[in-house]
């Protein structure tokens, strides 16, 4: 990564930094504007905004859909597309058809559980003031904000704290994490060794992990131990090509590799993450964010322009495809009523 080039590029993007919070959840036809991508080092910019996907998807096919307000599903899946576009709503396994959308959303999502289906709520992080909590299926109930241009990732611990990663800044805040105690207030900023923070996740002990790129463009995994105020770098026993989702799976800390289309399962001790297993997925284009529930993993596929469902930890080919032609899926999560 060329940090000087990033600073110059970002200065031209300041006016584009703010994404507005979504409205009341009505279905609105998305913009048909083309997606224009460019790279600065290893970081992908789409339509002037840095994104956590590794690749730009093919030209999306936009369709007008009408939400199914009578869905009796217990669980809902959310595929968050390009920033300030929309979140596509699904009710798999009832069917794989998109049943609704939340206009204005985009980026990444998380819920109030370490892994599995969120309990009645979920979060979307897509901009400075688009850190929004929703009641399932699509009612906004709370909005938080950060004093940085590009917040991206989010994770919650079992105490209800919300960690929001700062993807990229040209100055202070670059690669940092803001933690909102009980998911309220203005948050506390924690500096990380990362130049660009991509994804974060808590383990079952309350330790917070995040991955991203260093100033040289290399992958890095970092940890904020529970009760500490300082992030430390964690060395992985294998090579990770590109940052992906960080999530506890009930047994292991997992890190997804976007370029390898694989989930790495780790045991973490001290400053070392030892690889214990690899779950590989075939047919995925670029899972920009994944979300683990018992027995399956959801993928927001920026490469194929859809959502996908794979068996976990079996891996292999997708057992279901959610929608098609979505505009640059960047995030995915799932929650129950």
Torsion of CA 213, 209, 104, 129, to 10 degrees: -100
Q: In this structure, are strands 100-103 and 118-119 parallel, antiparallel, or unpaired?
A: unpaired
Q: Is the Cβ–Cβ distance between 236 and 221 less than 8 Å?
A: yes
Here the CATH number for the domain that contains residue 12 is: 2.120.10.80
Count of the separate structural domains present in the chain: 1
Tens digit of pLDDT at every position of the chain (337 positions): 433 333 333 333 322 333 333 333 333 334 445 788 898 889 888 888 889 999 876 555 544 444 444 456 789 999 999 999 999 999 999 999 999 999 999 999 999 999 999 999 999 999 999 999 999 999 999 999 999 999 999 999 999 999 999 998 877 778 999 999 999 999 999 999 999 999 999 999 999 999 999 999 999 999 999 999 999 999 999 999 999 999 999 999 999 999 999 999 999 999 999 999 999 999 999 999 999 999 999 999 999 999 999 999 999 999 999 999 999 999 999 999 9
Angle ∠(133,143,19) on CA atoms, nearest 5: 105
Range of the domain at 99: 3-336
Task: Say if residue 87 is exposed, middle or buried (CB neighbours under 10 Å; 0-12, 13-18, 19+).
Answer: buried
Helix (H, G, I), strand (E, B) or coil at 181: helix
Q: Distance between CA atoms of 219 and 264, rounded to whole angstroms?
A: 14
- The secondary element (H helix, E strand) that includes residue 298 is strand 296-301
The pTM score is: 0.87
Cα distances (angstroms) measured from residue 175 to each of 41, 170, 213, 288: 16, 10, 9, 18
């Amino acid at each position: 990564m060329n940090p000087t080039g990033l600073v110059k590029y970002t200065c031209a993007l300041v006016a584009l930094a703010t994404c507005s919070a979504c409205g009341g959840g009505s279905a609105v036809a998305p913009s048909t504007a083309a997606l224009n991508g460019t790279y600065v080092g290893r970081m992908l910019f789409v339509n002037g905004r840095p994104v956590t996907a590794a690749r730009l998807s093919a030209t999306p096919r936009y369709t007008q859909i009408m939400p199914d307000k009578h869905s009796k599903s217990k669980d809902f899946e959310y595929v968050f597309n390009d920033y300030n576009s929309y979140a596509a709503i699904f009710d798999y396994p009832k069917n794989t058809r998109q049943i609704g959308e939340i206009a204005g959303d985009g980026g990444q999502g998380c819920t109030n559980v370490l892994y599995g289906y969120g309990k009645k709520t979920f979060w979307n992080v897509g901009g400075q003031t688009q850190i929004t909590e929703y009641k399932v299926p699509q009612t906004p109930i709370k909005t938080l904000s950060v004093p940085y241009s590009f917040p991206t990732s989010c994770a919650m611990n079992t105490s209800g704290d919300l960690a929001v990663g700062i993807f990229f800044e040209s100055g202070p805040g670059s690669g940092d994490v803001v933690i909102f105690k009980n998911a309220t207030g203005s948050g506390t900023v924690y500096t990380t060794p990362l130049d660009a923070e991509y994804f974060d996740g808590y383990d079952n002990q309350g330790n917070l992990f995040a991955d991203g790129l260093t100033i040289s463009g290399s992958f890095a995994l970092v940890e904020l131990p529970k009760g500490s105020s300082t992030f430390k770098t964690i060395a992985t026993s294998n090579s990770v090509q590109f940052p992906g989702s960080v999530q506890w799976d009930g047994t292991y800390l997992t890190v997804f590799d976007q370029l390898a289309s694989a989930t790495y399962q780790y045991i973490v001790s001290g400053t070392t993450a030892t690889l214990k297993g690899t779950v590989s997925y075939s047919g995925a284009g670029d899972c920009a964010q994944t979300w683990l529930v018992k027995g399956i993993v959801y993928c927001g596929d920026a490469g194929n322009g859809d959502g996908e469902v794979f068996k976990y930890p079996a891996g292999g080919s997708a057992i279901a495809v959610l929608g098609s032609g979505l505009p640059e899926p960047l995030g995915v999560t799932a929650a129950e009523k």
